[in-house]
């Protein structure tokens, strides 16, 4: 008799399931979850699965649990397939579900997130608006009145404005409210 599918050829004793097969001994062996169906040889874990061979394969971090087919990387993870997925910059660490973009990042999902204008680069936590920007979080930040548009660094109050940072800048006495340029 030929060994049943999924069994090794240790003929002197009871057959032992091959790697990647479950132990349903009464019938032909079924590949374990996360293993490909290369039945002529030992099973190889599918992409996105760890190699915990003693038990059912567990998806690696950063992969969704689409178990019927090869695992697809979750949103917010890079595609470094040889090892556990690495979070892309600008994503929060909600690992149990698809990653959510952090405040202050655009949704360019195909590559690392790009900072939105008016946000600082404090990557360990949600981005904080830079001084001189309003908190219109749904879109790029708008400069508050009295600030120049030097985007590369924290905004500097324009000449003739006081430093009331909690709200829009107020013109100092003797200055007009022409927002597009320095007061005259």
State residue 168's pLDDT score: 53
Report how many domains make up the chain: 1
State the residue range of the domain holding 19.
Answer: 1-58
Residue 31 lies in a domain: yes
Q: Which residues contact 103 (CB under 8 A, 6 or more apart)?
A: 119, 126, 127, 137
| Chain segment 71-120, per-residue pLDDT in tens | 666 766 766 554 566 777 777 766 555 667 777 677 665 566 777 766 76
82 lies in some domain? no
Q: How would you class 28 by CB atoms within 10 Å of its CB: exposed for 0-12, middle for 13-18, buried for 19 or more? A: exposed
- Tell whether 181 is covered by a domain: no
Q: What are phi and psi of 47, to 5 degrees?
A: -55, 130
Give the tens place of pLDDT for each residue, 131-184: 667 665 545 566 666 666 554 455 666 666 666 544 555 666 656 555 444 445
CA-CA distance, 154 to 129, in Å (whole number)? 9
Structural domain includes residue 50 = yes
Instruction: Give the tens place of pLDDT for each residue, 7-37.
Output: 665 555 556 666 656 665 445 566 666 676 6
């Amino acid at each position: 008799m030929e060994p049943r599918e999924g069994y090794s050829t240790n003929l002197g004793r009871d057959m032992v399931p091959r790697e990647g097969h479950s132990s349903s001994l009464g019938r032909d062996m079924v590949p374990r979850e996360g293993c490909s169906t290369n039945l002529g040889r030992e099973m190889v874990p599918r992409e996105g699965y760890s190699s915990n061979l003693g038990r059912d394969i567990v998806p690696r971090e950063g992969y969704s649990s689409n178990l019927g087919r090869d695992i697809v990387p979750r949103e917010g993870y890079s595609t470094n397939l040889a090892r556990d997925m690495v979070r892309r910059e600008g994503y929060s660490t909600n690992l149990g579900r698809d990653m959510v973009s952090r405040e202050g990042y655009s949704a360019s999902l195909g590559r690392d997130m790009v900072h939105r204008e008016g946000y600082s680069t404090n990557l360990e936590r949600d981005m904080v608006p830079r001084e001189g920007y309003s908190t219109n979080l749904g879109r790029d930040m708008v400069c508050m009145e009295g600030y120049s548009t030097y985007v590369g660094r924290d905004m500097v109050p324009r000449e003739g404005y006081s430093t009331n940072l909690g709200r829009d800048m107020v013109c100092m006495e003797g200055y007009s409210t022409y927002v597009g340029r320095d007061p005259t």
